[in-house]
A and B are shown apart, each in its own frame.
Chain A
Amino acid sequence: MRLEQAALFTYSKVYKLLAKEEFINNAKVGKVLARKCTKCGHFHLVTTYFCQNCGNKTFENAIIEGKGTIVTYTIITVPPEGYEKYVPYAWVVMKLDNADLRISGFMGGIKSPADLPLGTKTKITGYDERGIIIEKL
């Protein structure tokens, strides 16, 4: 039993590293790689080990279309290091259309709140040094 648990743990560590890379690869083509709990069906982002809803440890991968709507956002005028050249830009939280999941990321070209009413339709378009890239649909 102890040996079995150790083997599982090693496996999940490796799995997680691959998952993060896969998550980024999916974001690059506009998709969200999520984990769906095999027991209760709850969705999580792929960096989660245990189900937040039921504590189960097994998941199946779910590739979700990276489309959704803006829940909230800010327009950054005093940026952290590395983002100076993008100012002003928005950091946004979007709710995915096809799963009960929210995901946040970087959105360029936003100068004032008039440019981005809450509820605006958006999509994930990539991943680079700015993080997950989200654009208006």
Chain B
Amino acid sequence: MEKVCVIGAGSTKYGKLQDNITDIALQASVDAIESAGMQPKEIQAGYISNVFGIADKQVHLGPVIMSNLGIPEVPSLSIESACGSGSVSFREAYANVAAGFYDAVLATGVEKVTHTGTEWTTTYFSYCSDFFYEGGAGASFPGLFASMARAYLAEFKATEEDLAMVAVKNHDNGLLNPKAHLRKKITIDDVMKSAVVASPLKLYDCCPFSDGASAVILCNEKFAKTHSKHYIEVIGSGRGGSPAALQGREHITTIPSTKIAAQAAYKMAGITPKDVDFAEVHDCFTIAELVDIEDLGFFEKGKAVEAVRQGRTRLNGDIPINPSGGLKSKGHPIGATGIGQVVEVFDQLTGLAAERTVKDAKIGLAHNFGATGASCAVHIFKSV
């Protein structure tokens, strides 16, 4: 297998964007290509992740993006895997470069949904569930995670205030990220007083619906060395699955696909969770971050709350979680999120993270899943 590197990264701001889906995707793609010090003609394949292109009248995004980059002849793959689309797309790009099929490829994720309104997004997001049992019985996405939250709070004697601490921490980080969607300091009280969306989750426990795009260039080591001084290496890649419906899981407070993907990625990297300096994890709701950091092996089952209370996951803690602000504050353009996490890891490990830099970081992890964790990918990166 070829050693795979990330040599370029770009993101639009996440939030409510005016441009159409193609233009948003192109802005991030061009930034990534330029940051890699390469020409579009050197791209040999494109991996384009998106879920609701239909909302902005553009599906089959791959060829449209390639054409606008002046490389219509380059093959592309348009990928949907719910909120995990970006990381799944990254994995496909990684696998193809590792296998030696291509020297350099583009992975771009994009989403444009804020113009559709809350009812449309709530309804269409519910189609990502196992619809017969979940969306088709009135469950919204916040509702599914709220069900995980109720079970978690009961099992581990945690409180709604504990969930709120995750939101407060991620907003503190997002304040330092110029591209974050919700750049606003909040308090536990603000979270507790926000409107209930799906009990026990309140508005400030939930990530926003965001527009945005992120893009990265993956390549083999030879290509990296001849194009840029600033690149990182992919040292672990893992994927996993879980029963699609929550009812199919014996334990509702853990996400099997995260464990499977993480174990595979740690094994490939030859490291343990203790070796990871920081992680971008899938915090679509506050409860998800607690479950994630246990399933990723940073803390024992049921101990995440204590770690959060002690500040261990803060930017200056021993394992900073979501230095970018996470989905909660940075935003969640679902097709872009998994790629956006890699952009953050790239920025952190190449000295571009400015005020939110994790001190002395050498190894970063990105964890992203689809739906309630029915699909998941974990990637581990090392500075070069």
Residues of chain A having any CB pair with chain B under 8 Å: 45, 47, 71-83, 86, 89, 91, 93, 102-106, 112-113, 118, 130-132
Give Cα A103–Cα B245 distance, bound, in whole angstroms.
9
Asked, given contacts A47-B132, A78-B122, whether A118 binds B154 with beta carbons under 8 Å apart, the answer is yes
Knowing A79-B122, A93-B246, say if A74 contacts B147 (CB, 8 Å): yes
In the complex with contacts A72-B150, A72-B252, A113-B199 CB distance below 8 A: yes
Q: Does B215 contact A (CB under 8 A)?
A: no
B138 contacts which of A89, A93, A102 (Cβ < 8 Å)? A89
Q: Please tell me if the beta carbons of B247 and A104 are within 8 angstroms of each other in the complex.
A: yes
Indicate if the CB atoms of A91 and B252 lie closer than 8 Å: no
Mask, B113-150, CB within 8 Å of A = 1, is 00000111011001000001111111110111011101
**Chain A contact surface mostly:** strand
Measured CA separation A131–B102 after assembly (Å): 47
- How close is A133's CB to chain B, nearest CB, in angstroms? 8
| Contact flag A76-B247 (CB < 8 Å), given A93-B147, A113-B199 | no
8 contacts between A and B (CB under 8 A): A74-B142, A75-B196, A78-B122, A80-B119, A80-B139, A91-B134, A106-B137, A131-B137
Contact A72 B137 (CB under 8 A): no
Query: If the complex has contacts A75-B199, A102-B247, A104-B247, are A80 and B135 also in contact, measured as CB distance less than 8 A?
Result: yes
A93 to B148, CA, bound (A): 10
| A76 to B142 CA separation, bound complex (whole angstroms) | 9
Name the distance in Å between B246's Cβ and chain A's nearest Cβ.
6
By a CB distance below 8 angstroms, the chain A residues around B122 are 78-81
B65 to chain A, nearest CB (A): 31
Assuming the A-B contacts A78-B122, A102-B247, are A83 and B138 also in contact, with contact meaning beta carbons closer than 8 angstroms in the complex? yes
Residues of B within 8 A of A83 (CB): 138
B268 CB-CB contact with A under 8 Å: no
The A-contacting residues of B in range 221-264, CB under 8 angstroms, are 245-248, 252
> Is B136 within 8 A of A93, CB to CB?
no
A103 to B140, CA, bound (A): 17
Q: Are B147 and A73 in contact (CB-based, < 8 A)?
A: yes
Q: Verify B198–A77 contact, CB threshold 8 A.
A: yes
Asked if B197 is at the interface of the complex by the 8 Å CB criterion, the answer is yes
User: A30 to chain B: closest CB distance in Å?
Assistant: 16
B137 interface neighbour in A75, A81, A112, A132, Cβ under 8 Å = A132
Whether A76 lies near B143 (C-beta < 8 A) is yes
A-chain residues with CB within 8 Å of residue B201 when the two chains form the complex: 74
When distances are taken between beta carbons in the complex, the residues of chain B under 8 Å from A47 are 132
Q: Specify which of B133, B137, B140, B198 lies most central, judged by the most chain A CB atoms within 10 Å of its CB.
A: B137
